[in-house]
Structures are given as C-alpha cells and as structure tokens.
C-alpha cells in the first residue's frame, strides 16, 4: 500500500483499534450484591454437608454465583479487607477461578465481579473425572506462592493447601444450604491445567471443586 493511501486510511484505523480490543477482551461480569442473611442454620448445613458427583448441566444464575463466591472467599469486613475464610498471615494468596461453558473467569472479591481470563471452555481440564466437563461450574483454587512473603518453600505449600481447605469448606456449607451438589477434587493434571490457564511461575493449582444442581 502506498504511503499516501495509508495516510488517508489512518483515521479509520485509529478508530478501529479500540473496537478490535473490545472484541478480544470482554468486559468483567458485575455480580448482584451477595445476600449476607438467611440460608440454613449452621448445624443443619453441617448435618447436610456431603460430596456428590452427579450434576445437572443447567448453569448457575448470577445471584447464586455471587452468594457462592462471597461465602467462599468474599470480603466480610470492608474496612480491613478481611475475608470469609482465614489465611495464614492474612496473605490472602488464593485466587478463585471459575471454569464455565462460556470461559474462564477470576473472582474479583473487592469489586464483586468476574474478570474474564479465557474465552474458551476448559472445564474438562479441571480434573480427571468425566463429570467435570459437563457440570456448570468448576472452581479452581490457585495459590500465588510469591505473595507468601518470608515463608520457606514447605510452609508455602502447607499454608496454601490449608487456606484452600477453609474456602472449600465454606463452599460445601453454602451448597448444603442452597441445595446444590458439590465435590472438592485433588485429582487434577496440574501442569496441563496451569498451562491452559496461562499461569505464571509461583502460581500453583491447589484444588478444584465442582458445583451444580442435582440431576433430576
Ligand atoms: C483434599 C481432598 C481431595 C479430594 N479429591 C477428590 C477427587 O479428586 N475426586 C473426588 O471425586 N473426590 C475427592 N475428594 C472428596 C472425598 O472423596 C470426600 O470428601 C470423601 O469421600 C468423604 O465424603 P464426604 O465429603 O461426602 O464426607 C477430595 C477431598 C479432599 C478433602
């Protein structure tokens, strides 16, 4: 293309660039405000808590996602940024990812929104069991080991696993209360999943957890 033709096209190209960017980068999904009241009494939720491995494919509504994620690792003390689950040294090193049919998202607790990470369905890579590919939601707990300042290698692994356990139990109790099926899972090809998610050095997949409505 001649330089003069390019100069004529330039204003149109400049206008197109942001549009192209938007197509590749969908905006975050704003979740409705989570409900901090109601649900099953704690002792009843503990009585009902159990693992299930059968899920209807029906997607979870956004209000359910919002309550589920807030219960998992949401902010319950806005002044200090404290979370619904404890973490060693308050490192808050666990990020909750959501693998759904429409793509991979990251839970942004402070803004109560889902930040798009990948525009493709990677549910099948979140575990070695068949149901993970068709259940509506596979949560993936990823530890940022670099955020655990001052800890040795062994403590980083120990504490990030323990911190994930608290989050996963919160999810179990929410699911018991909301009539959802759930199972936490460690049987994962972690390197294949980390590669698909584009994780960096120091980011480690700890566990995954599948959530969905019971099969009728
Ligand atoms: C760290 C951890 C890893 C687990 N990994 C798997 C898994 O990969 N696949 C699975 O189906 N269940 C997995 N489970 C669920 C257990 O099998 C289940 O909790 C156990 O059988 C007790 O059943 P309950 O949760 O109904 O009490 C895991 C549980 C934990 C705590």
Q: What local confidence, expressed as pLDDT, does residue 117 receive?
A: 98
Is residue 47 in contact with ligand 1, taking CB distance under 6 Å?
no
**C-alpha of residue 33 to centroid of ligand 1, in Å:** 31
Is residue 145 in contact with ligand 1, taking CB distance under 6 Å?
no
**C-alpha of residue 154 to centroid of ligand 1, in Å:** 23
Q: What local confidence, expressed as pLDDT, does residue 216 receive?
A: 82
Torsion of CA 56, 129, 180, 46, to 10 degrees: 160
Q: What local confidence, expressed as pLDDT, does residue 138 receive?
A: 98
Residue of 162, 186, 205 with the most ligand 1 atoms within 8 Å of its CB, for mutation:
186
SS3 content of the chain, % helix, strand, coil (to 5): 40, 25, 35
Q: Which residues contact 107 (CB under 8 A, 6 or more apart)?
A: 69, 72, 73, 95, 96, 97, 98, 114, 115
Is residue 53 in contact with ligand 1, taking CB distance under 6 Å?
yes
pTM across the whole model: 0.90
* Tally of helices (H runs) and strands (E runs) in the chain: 5, 9
**C-alpha of residue 133 to centroid of ligand 1, in Å:** 18
Question: If you take atom 9 of ligand 1, which residue's CA is the nearest one?
Answer: 185
3-class SS at 100? strand
Q: Beta strands of 82-192 (E only): which ranges?
A: 82-83, 94-100, 103-108, 113-118, 137-144, 181-185
Q: What local confidence, expressed as pLDDT, does residue 14 receive?
A: 38
What are the residue ranges in the chain where pLDDT is below 50?
A: 1-6, 9-23
């Amino acid at each position: 293309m001649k330089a003069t033709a390019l100069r004529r096209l330039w204003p149109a190209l400049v206008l197109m660039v942001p549009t192209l960017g938007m197509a590749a980068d969908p905006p975050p999904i704003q979740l409705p405000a989570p409900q901090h009241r109601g649900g099953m009494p704690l002792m009843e939720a503990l009585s009902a808590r159990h693992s299930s491995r059968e899920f209807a494919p029906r997607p979870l509504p956004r209000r359910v996602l919002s309550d589920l994620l807030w219960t998992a690792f949401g902010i319950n003390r806005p002044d200090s940024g404290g979370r619904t689950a404890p973490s060693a040294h308050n490192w808050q090193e666990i990020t909750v990812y959501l693998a759904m049919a429409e793509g991979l998202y990251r839970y942004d607790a402070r803004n109560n929104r889902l930040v798009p990470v990948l525009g493709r369905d990677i549910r099948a890579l979140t575990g070695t069991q068949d149901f993970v590919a068709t259940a509506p939601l596979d949560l993936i707990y990823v530890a940022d080991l670099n955020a655990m300042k001052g800890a040795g290698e062994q403590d980083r692994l120990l504490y990030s696993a323990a911190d994930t356990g608290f989050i996963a139990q919160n999810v179990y109790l929410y699911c018991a209360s909301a009539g959802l099926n759930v199972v936490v899972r460690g049987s994962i090809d972690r390197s294949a999943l980390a590669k698909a998610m584009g994780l960096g050095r120091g980011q480690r997949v700890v566990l995954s957890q599948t959530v969905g409505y019971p099969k009728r």
